[in-house]
Amino acid sequence: MKSKIKIYGFFVISYVFLLISCNPKIDNPIGTGKLGTLFPEGQAITYVAIGNSLTAGYTDGALFEDAQQYSFPNLLAQQLKAENFVQPIFSNPGSGTRMFLHGFLSDGTPDIEQTLNPLLSAANYNYSRPFSNLGIPGAIAYDLIDTSNFMNRTIERQNPFYAAILRSSILGKSVLEQAISLNPNLITMWIGNNDVLGFATSGGTISTTGMPDNPIPTPVLTIQQIIGSALQTITQKLPNTKVFLFTIPNVLRTPFFNVIPWNGLVLTNQNQVDALNAAYQKAGFKFKLGQNGFVAESPSSPGKLKQLTQDDYVTLICPQDSLKSGWGSITPIPNQYVLDASEAKMVTDAVNDYNQVIKQFELFFPDKVFVIDMNAILNLMFTNGYSLPGSSSLTTQYISGEMFGLDGIHPSSKGYGVIANEIIKYINNKFNADIPLVNVQNLPAIRVTPTILPSRIKQ
């Protein structure tokens, strides 16, 4: 009798013990992968991405394998379960002017090293079909339809990516031809950024390739013709294909134009103030103790000099040690590091014009072309930040904002995750689909490479 009770007691204990552990019960699952009205259920997705560095997954000044895996097209392809999505692979450290953050100096300045890596070939150069990611860093809108020799273009523009990504004209004579030959039913197209970017980052000193040397960004009419004809071709040859076209983010919102303040000339000594006031008396520039607008070259200003105001921008690539040793006061900041107010207006106007044109294509090609307003998302990030569940909000602050990589223009891997998610949100909303979002929290933000590279030891 007693031993029975004992056994029974232990039996109850062990039975209950095994019982308890719980699994989620989900009434209304989200992220089921349902395609809604995007495509008939069960239809395979063949996805091709067309564009420039933003499509390629360029970050930290280069295109490299570690970051390419988080290009927005690759993330999108994974979430959509697209078939055979192949990117050109640029093995680490990649191709371009790769920037490495070694850490921060004791004064808080980021310790960034730039290394030139003129890698000319993708690791999977011999892949027998066109790449699904046809984002070519540096590509302008015209490159979409340009059928000139890829190698010649690479040499002329000192840009390895035409030859490295497009490779052979047998695969298709232009980006567009190669894209169409893959017979995709889904295309993302994000082009036109470089048509204004080159002008902007050069402080308004360089025209877009092929444009008269005024200098100017690509005229909006040209953009309209190129994108229009590309969309015409796609919709004719691939009548069941959906094209997602993105607006151009206003590059002036990126850290590249917002790290070095226009009024970063800090004067602590009255003698300096008096000397500068005397030196620039004719020009009418005023200096006081504390923060002052830098003095910079400005071809459109009287005397070709200008004291910067809040409407002017100093670019991130302006050498900071030069600023510390006197640039911007007695020695003006050279023109190529400053986008003055009139140049900045040209940039903003061009972006606005491009975007107006881009938005209209949705009307010209109903149910075939869909426009996602990436510029609006960047603006939101600039003004309010982009909140991420369980993590800090992404902003356009350099480094600490996490959205942009070290070059200050291209998104970080986390930033590309946000772009992928905005596309997915658009698709889910528009087509009543239920594609799972990327867990952006799990993507790297700012890569830190504490190791000193061999090239540095020499210095």
Using CB under 8 A, list all residues that contact other proteins.
2, 5-6, 9-10, 12-13, 16-17, 19-26, 29-31, 101-106, 108-111, 259, 320, 387-393, 395, 397-402, 413-414, 421, 436-437, 439, 441-442, 444-450
In the bound state with other proteins, the residue whose beta carbon lies nearer, of 166 and 418, is 418
| 33: Cβ contacts below 8 Å, ≥ 6 apart | 81, 434, 435, 436
Contact in structure between 98 and 406 (CB atoms under 8 Å): no
Q: How far is the CB of 57 from other proteins (least distance, A)?
A: 15
In the bound state with other proteins, the residue whose beta carbon lies nearer, of 29 and 454, is 29
In the bound state with other proteins, the residue whose beta carbon lies nearer, of 61 and 198, is 61
Q: How far is the CB of 383 from other proteins (least distance, A)?
A: 14
DSSP string, 348-372: HHHHHHHHHHHHHHHHHSTTTEEEE
Q: How far is the CB of 26 from other proteins (least distance, A)?
A: 6
* Antiparallel, parallel or unpaired: β 295-297 and 305-307: antiparallel
Q: How far is the CB of 1 from other proteins (least distance, A)?
A: 9
323-332: which pairs have CB atoms within 8 A and are 24 or more residues apart?
A: 323/260, 323/264, 323/294, 327/294, 328/264, 328/265, 328/294, 328/295, 328/296, 329/265, 329/272, 329/276, 329/294, 329/295, 330/276, 330/279, 332/295, 332/296, 332/297, 332/305
In the bound state with other proteins, the residue whose beta carbon lies nearer, of 226 and 445, is 445
Q: Is 75 exposed, middle or buried (0-12, 13-18, 19+ CB in 10 A)?
A: buried
Distance, in Å, from the CA atom of 271 to the CA atom of 288, rounded to the nearest integer, reads 10
In the bound state with other proteins, the residue whose beta carbon lies nearer, of 99 and 189, is 99
| 218: Cβ contacts below 8 Å, ≥ 6 apart | 140, 141, 142, 192, 195, 196, 208, 211, 350
Q: How far is the CB of 395 from other proteins (least distance, A)?
A: 7
Q: How far is the CB of 418 from other proteins (least distance, A)?
A: 12
Q: How far is the CB of 373 from other proteins (least distance, A)?
A: 21
Q: At what angle do helices 374-383 and 413-431 cross, to 10 degrees?
A: 120
In the bound state with other proteins, the residue whose beta carbon lies nearer, of 155 and 452, is 452
Q: How far is the CB of 305 from other proteins (least distance, A)?
A: 26
In the bound state with other proteins, the residue whose beta carbon lies nearer, of 6 and 359, is 6
In the bound state with other proteins, the residue whose beta carbon lies nearer, of 335 and 413, is 413
DSSP string, 387-444: --TTSPPBBSSTTTTBSB-TTSSSB-HHHHHHHHHHHHHHHHHHHT-BPPPP-GGGS-
Q: How far is the CB of 27 from other proteins (least distance, A)?
A: 9
Distance, in Å, from the CA atom of 168 to the CA atom of 178, rounded to the nearest integer, reads 10
Distance, in Å, from the CA atom of 76 to the CA atom of 74, rounded to the nearest integer, reads 5
Q: How far is the CB of 289 from other proteins (least distance, A)?
A: 21
In the bound state with other proteins, the residue whose beta carbon lies nearer, of 108 and 366, is 108
Half-sphere exposure of 115 (CA within 13 A, CB side): 17
Q: Is 125 exposed, middle or buried (0-12, 13-18, 19+ CB in 10 A)?
A: middle
Structure token pair of residue 137: 């860093």
In the bound state with other proteins, the residue whose beta carbon lies nearer, of 25 and 458, is 25
